[in-house]
Amino acid sequence: MTILHKFFGSSKSSSPSSPSSSIDEQIQAKGFEISTCSETCADCNVTYPKSLKFEESEPLWDSTKPYGLHLNISTGKTDWPHDATGELGTLANAVAEWGSRHSGKTPLGNIKVTCSSLGGDELITDDEYIQQKRGDILILPYFLWVKGIAIDEVDIVFTKILNLLSDKNGEHRATIEEIKAAIPQATITVDENRAYVFLCSHRTRDKRCGVTAPIMKKELDIILREKELYRDYGDQTPGGVKVAFINHIGGHKFAANVIIYLQG
């Protein structure tokens, strides 16, 4: 749980192990600490069902393709069709199609598009949200929200955002004020959470994730409450850590996959 230590805090010093020193060095080069905790936590009483089988021999590090921009569509759901963004005529599909056209073609690199359990009241009160014609999208790792964007606005809004987040040399990142001024037709706000933790819960793709995600969320929420970092649905108090579910990530070999974003 190396990355968790970064935002939970750790009083233990780094002590890279010799068999994985090259991996340790790569992790440290990215600004993270090396965990000195045992892989088996003595304080944890919760286990996964014995019926679940996991890949434990292959190295997890560097097992997924890197990406520079993550567009996370709020759906309020915890499971999705096999292809979560594949339904034609939906906001998720429009964003995914845009991402495919622009992925790898700018200094930001590859673009990941996912659906998550995040959501607001509009998902039950607004017909366009309910019909997936309009929605809210979280831009990571920049902690920016595009609120209430419609399908026909996706191309122009996200193309402008993509260009603003980096210049041709990849050296300049626009400020929120510059982005708002350049795209007045969009409602863009800053997310003030300290971190996001996304757990794969896509049971339709991998039933193991449908089992492991709720277990992990329950344990994370307990720790976050103890540290006064927990944020429930609708709680916008700055500086919190939100744990949410996300559609299939990490390929098919591994389960209980997690993505963590730290602000700043």
Rounded-to-integer distance, Cα 237 and Cα 30, Å = 29
Give the model's confidence band at 251: pLDDT under 50 very low, under 70 low, under 90 confident, else very high: low
Q: What is the pLDDT of residues 173-208, one digit of tens each?
A: 788 999 999 999 999 999 999 999 999 999 999 898
Q: What is the pLDDT of residues 2-44, one digit of tens each?
A: 344 433 444 343 344 444 558 888 888 888 888 777 766 666 7
Q: Residue 260 above 90 pLDDT?
A: yes
**214 by DSSP, 3-state: which?**
helix
Q: Do 180 and 237 touch, CB atoms closer than 8 A?
A: no
The amino acid occupying position 77 is: K
Domains, in order of start, for the chain: 69-190 (3.40.30), 195-262 (no CATH)
Q: What is the DSSP letter of 73?
A: E
Task: Say which residues have a Cβ less than 8 Å from residue 37's Cβ, sequence separation at least 6.
Answer: 1, 5, 12
**pTM for this entry:** 0.86
> In 34-133, at which residue ranges do the beta strands (DSSP E only) sit?
69-74, 111-116
